[in-house]
Amino acid sequence: MTPSFRKNEIQVLFEQYYVSLVEFSWRILKCDEAARDIVQDAFVKLLERSGQLQDNGNAQKSYLYTTVKNASLNYLRREKVANSYMEFSNYKDYEDQSLLDALIYAELVGDLHKAVDSLPKVCQDVCRLSYIDEKSNMEIAENFNVSVNTVKTHKQRALKLLRERLSPVYKTAKVIFPFFF
């Protein structure tokens, strides 16, 4: 396998798992910058070890999550040592359940992003502007030079498609996280 092919494969994995891995790390660290750095480092390690790993997507995904988890926990440990000179440290050991919850939440966020990416382009744009960028219907309508009713129609269509695509994920999440629903 040529190195350039391997880099392309890593790029595909990066696009597929980056959001979920950052969310997973953030759930442990509560620090955006550190989470992004840790995930980027995990992909560099994957690239360096690419010849040693199986070409199995599950093995690579498992390697990435394990690397991010360990690096995040090591980051917290280093922070604890740095903060040991202070009177009070906010560090606490993560229980397995906390890590599992963070992993599940990160996967749900990743599935949501994938579902939004699979929407028709106009629905994607309206969905992102409305729900992520928190733009009003009027602002979105002005941005696309369409009527507010057209924006509402695109939002309704996007939500309908998302419900259909996320139905299995939603049902699972509802069972796991009943307090959110």
Note the pLDDT tens digit of each residue in 75-132: 988 887 666 655 444 445 556 667 777 887 888 888 888 888 889 999 999 988 988 8
Determine the pLDDT at residue 4: 47
Residue 49 — very low, low, confident or very high, per pLDDT cuts 50/70/90?
confident
Residue 66 — very low, low, confident or very high, per pLDDT cuts 50/70/90?
very high
The token pair at 29 is 């660290």
Alpha-carbon torsion angle 23, 29, 34, 39, nearest 10: -40
Q: Give CA–CA dist 79/91, Å, rounded.
A: 8
The pTM for the full model equals 0.55
For residues 11-27, average pLDDT: 90
In this structure, the chain runs to a length of 181
For residues 173-178, average pLDDT: 61
Burial tier of 60 (Cβ tally within 10 Å: 0-12, 13-18, 19+): buried
Determine the pLDDT at residue 9: 80
Determine the pLDDT at residue 82: 64
* Alpha carbon 30 to chain centroid, angstroms: 14
